[in-house]
């Protein structure tokens, strides 16, 4: 059975689908037309699907060889609030919204893979779950699927992400940690207002917040192994009402990024400790709120070895990138939630072409485009990995 031939037959479908999605991007949790399009495509392949949340779609392919393992294949479907600045014929028709993170490519590749896999169901046992996940950019889309226990009984989970800084025809794989966690935190400091000329009558929360910022800046250096990467960043400080009144309330907002669950928990605990201690020392009080948008994305070793073997077959071992310094970043991806309790792996697919400058723009750029030959690589990874886990006959 020639999978390469099968996916080459779908080249035009992959490209036209990706271009349709690129022209019609929708923001997180507003992917109504995108979800409807995905459902229509799956129905045309003979694949049953249903909504998960308002805009997520779950399709299911059942192998005709009987019961077997289950693999989950995931693509994210939302776009970003970015105005596209390319002159390609299929540029965004939704002003101020753009697929500048490649989710159009992810969705098209999984749809193309689904079309081929549905045609091969006589050759394998078990089940393939097709997860078209909403709101990845917002960081919460996975929760809709997890709330419905979609990962229960799943043996493997797999996803891909485009990488314009790697050339088309390459696949990048990180053993272990791939992407960082993303935690949002808000520290609210309460004090006492007074006229600025009588500071002894007030409790200055702007001063307290400034001291919290300074101490949090050294927290990672003091607590985290120098060989481990972690970050605490504060992007917003709001305080006071006018120039001559002591700020009665201040609000700090920031983020934690780590590559381990243990460090994530440690930094959350210490941020709360620092905020409370400093506030109390100066007569005020602090409350700390955390919201985890994504856990660290940590590839399972067994799944890594499996997809490495598959990728070698597809692009050749010389075209597999494993240098974690080139792959890992402090960006987050909530595919991590699907593989917290399931053996899974994330692959990076090169989409750059040195002869086509627009394909070398970075992710989240207003000028991002891809070499569409990469769609075939992504689709083949989905297909070949699914069939290897389901033991194609």
- The predicted pLDDT at position 391 comes to 84
**pLDDT for 178 beyond 70:** yes
- Contact at 8 Å (CB) between 389 and 306? yes
Q: How many CB atoms lie within 10 A of CB 272?
A: 17
CATH class assigned to 182-294: alpha beta
- Altogether, the residues listed in the chain come to a count of 393
Neighbouring residues of 36: CB distance < 8 A, sequence distance ≥ 6:
none
Contact 28, 135 (CB under 8 A): yes
Q: Where do we find the tokens 């006959």?
A: 393
Q: What is the mean pLDDT of residues 277-290?
A: 98
**What pTM was estimated for this model as a whole?**
0.94
For residue 393, pLDDT over 60 is answered with no
pLDDT surpasses 60 at 243? yes
Structure tokens at 260: 């381990």
pLDDT tens for 138-177 read 868 999 999 999 999 999 999 999 999 999 999 999 999 9
Task: State the helix-helix crossing angle for 11-23 and 103-119, rounded to 10 degrees.
Answer: 140
pLDDT tens digit sequence for 67-92: 999 999 999 999 999 999 999 999 99
Residue 107 has pLDDT above 60, yes or no: yes
Collapsed DSSP state (helix, strand, coil) of residue 289? strand
State how far Cα 49 lies from the chain centre.
23
Contacts of 185 (CB under 8 A, 6+ apart): 252, 253, 254, 255, 256, 268, 271, 288, 289, 290, 291
Mean pLDDT, the chain, rounded, equals: 96
Res 112: pLDDT: 98
Q: What kind of architecture, by CATH, is found in domain 3-179+296-389?
A: 3-Layer(aba) Sandwich (3.40)
Q: What is the pLDDT of residues 197-211, one digit of tens each?
A: 999 999 999 999 999
Where do the H-state alpha helices sit in the chain? 3-8, 11-23, 32-45, 103-119, 142-147, 205-216, 219-223, 261-281, 301-315, 324-327, 374-389
Q: What is the pLDDT of residue 3?
A: 77
Q: What is the pLDDT of residues 355-388, one digit of tens each?
A: 999 999 999 999 999 999 999 999 999 999 999 9
Cα–Cα distance measured from residue 155 to residue 152, given in angstroms and rounded to the nearest whole number: 9
pLDDT at 139: 67
Q: What value does the mean pLDDT take over residues 247-264?
A: 97
pLDDT at res. 392: 62
- Compute the Cα dihedral for 24, 27, 31, 32 and give only its sign: negative
Domains of the chain: which residue ranges?
Answer: 3-179+296-389, 182-294
């Amino acid at each position: 059975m020639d999978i390469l031939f099968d996916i080459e037959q779908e080249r035009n479908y992959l490209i036209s689908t990706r271009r349709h999605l690129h022209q019609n991007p929708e923001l997180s949790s507003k992917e109504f037309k995108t979800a409807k399009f995905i459902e229509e495509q799956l129905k045309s392949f003979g694949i049953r699907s249903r909504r998960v949340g308002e805009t997520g779609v779950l399709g299911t392919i059942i192998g005709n060889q009987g019961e077997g393992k289950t693999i989950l294949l995931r693509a994210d479907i939302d776009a970003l609030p970015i105005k596209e600045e390319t002159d390609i014929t299929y540029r965004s028709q939704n002003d101020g919204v753009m697929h500048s993170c490649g989710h159009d490519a992810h969705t098209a590749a999984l749809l193309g893979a689904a079309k081929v896999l549905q045609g091969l169901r006589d050759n394998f046992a078990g089940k393939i779950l097709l997860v078209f996940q909403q709101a990845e950019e917002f960081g919460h889309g996975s929760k809709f699927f997890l709330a419905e226990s979609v990962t229960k009984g799943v043996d493997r989970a797999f996803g891909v992400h485009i990488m314009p800084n790697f050339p088309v025809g390459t696949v990048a794989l990180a053993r272990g940690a791939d992407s960082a966690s993303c935690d949002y935190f808000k520290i609210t400091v309460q004090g006492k207002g007074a006229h600025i000329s009588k500071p002894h009558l007030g409790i200055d929360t702007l001063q307290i917040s400034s001291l919290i910022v300074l101490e949090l800046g050294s927290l990672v250096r003091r607590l985290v192994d120098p060989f481990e990467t972690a970050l605490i960043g504060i992007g917003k400080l709001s305080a006071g009402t006018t120039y001559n009144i002591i700020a009665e309330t201040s609000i700090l907002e920031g983020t934690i990024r780590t590559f381990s669950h243990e460090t994530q928990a440690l930094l959350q605990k210490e941020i709360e400790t620092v905020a409370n201690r400093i506030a109390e020392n100066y007569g005020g009080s602090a409350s700390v709120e955390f919201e985890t948008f994504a856990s660290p994305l940590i590839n399972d070793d067994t799944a890594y070895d499996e997809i490495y073997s598959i990728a070698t077959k597809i692009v050749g071992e010389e075209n597999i990138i494993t240098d974690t310094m080139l792959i890992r970043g402090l960006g987050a991806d909530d595919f991590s939630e699907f593989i917290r309790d399931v053996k899974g792996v994330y692959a990076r697919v090169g989409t750059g072409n040195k002869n086509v400058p627009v394909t070398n723009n970075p992710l989240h750029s207003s000028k991002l485009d891809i070499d569409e030959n990469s769609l075939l690589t992504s689709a083949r990874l989905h297909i070949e990995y699914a069939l290897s886990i389901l033991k194609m006959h």
